[in-house]
Amino acid sequence: MSEADDDDEFDNHSAMELWLHDLSVDSATRVAGALMIFIGSLLGVLLGIALISTNVGEILAGQLDGSDGVANVDGIVSTALEDSTTGGEPAEGVRVGILDSDELEIGHDFTDSGGRFSIDDVPRRSSTLLVEHPGNRSVRITLVPGDHAQISVTLTPGEGVDEFDMSGESHLGESVLIASTIAALTLLAGLAGMVGGLEAYRGDRYRRTWWLSFFGLWSRGMLFIGPMFILLGMGMTHLARDQFTDYTED
């Protein structure tokens, strides 16, 4: 009688439901899910380590040479916009020089057809960028080479000198701090996911496994590959949730 009832119970379920039931009671499902979570999080840890070990300041500035304490000064020179139809065009052949604190020139360049200039290997200390062109006011800009990725200079017709101070406008430090924080959070998220994978392997704490794996998603290992592995692992551990010793139906 009982065997007949069992047969009727199985007959009421589809093949897919029976297959999922078999997976849910097989410990290999939980172990495979734990392995996927661990691998996906490990990719995130590797990404975090790579981000932290990289010279963030060099990436953001795009110019620094920390070994020599020098940087490149790049920028563009354009004419002033006089009305809605004239001005605002790149200025070619403009002389751009760099002066040290003693007003001695340590480098110069002439703008190309696109108005761009580049002065290489300038010492990273307070300097003055001097822009001169016949028929236009000279421009003097106080700056620290490397603090600005690109400097924009506008030429105004007339005589005289326009002075600007950009030595205190750099946000490089804040940018480096933000990038370093993101790298550290990426590493921590990956470590949390790895712990979640170990918890899934042990099969003791389901909710802790789920939350740690969720945090591991933010490690972004290899963009979408790491999170995809973690999601698949979370799905498999959810399927095998009854195997966790602390799991009870809500």
The overall longest dimension of the chain from CA atoms, in Å, is 109
Give the amino acid at 69.
G
Is residue 206 over pLDDT 80? yes
- The mean pLDDT value of the chain amounts to 85
Q: Give residues with Cβ within 8 angstroms of 243, minimum separation 6.
A: 24, 25, 27, 30, 203
In whole angstroms, what separates CA 48 from the centre of its chain? 10
CA-CA distance, 69 to 220, in Å (whole number)?
34
Compute the Cα dihedral for 240, 245, 249, 250 and give only its sign.
negative
Asked if 161 and 87 touch (Cβ cutoff 8 Å), the reply is: no
Q: How confident is the model over 117-121, as a mean pLDDT?
A: 92
pLDDT at 38 over 90: yes
The first and second tokens of residue 62, run together, are: 């795009």
**Residue 1 banded pLDDT, cuts 50, 70, 90:** very low
What is the model's pLDDT at position 63? 46
Written as six digits, the tokens of 154 are 């506008």
> Is residue 166's pLDDT more than 70?
yes
Q: How far apart are the first and last CA of the chain?
A: 33
Mean pLDDT, rounded, for 133-150: 89
Decide if pLDDT at 60 tops 70. Answer: no
Does the predicted TM-score (pTM) go above 0.85? no
What is the per-residue pLDDT across 193-205, written as a single tens digit (0 to 9) for each?
A: 999 999 999 999 9
Closest CA to 38 of 174, 234, 241, 239: 234
pLDDT tens, residue by residue, 87-117: 778 899 999 999 998 999 999 999 998 999 9
172 and 147 in contact (C-beta within 8 Å)? yes
DSSP 171: -
Domains and CATH numbers, the chain: 61-169 (2.60.40.10)
Residues 6+ apart with CB under 8 A from 173: none
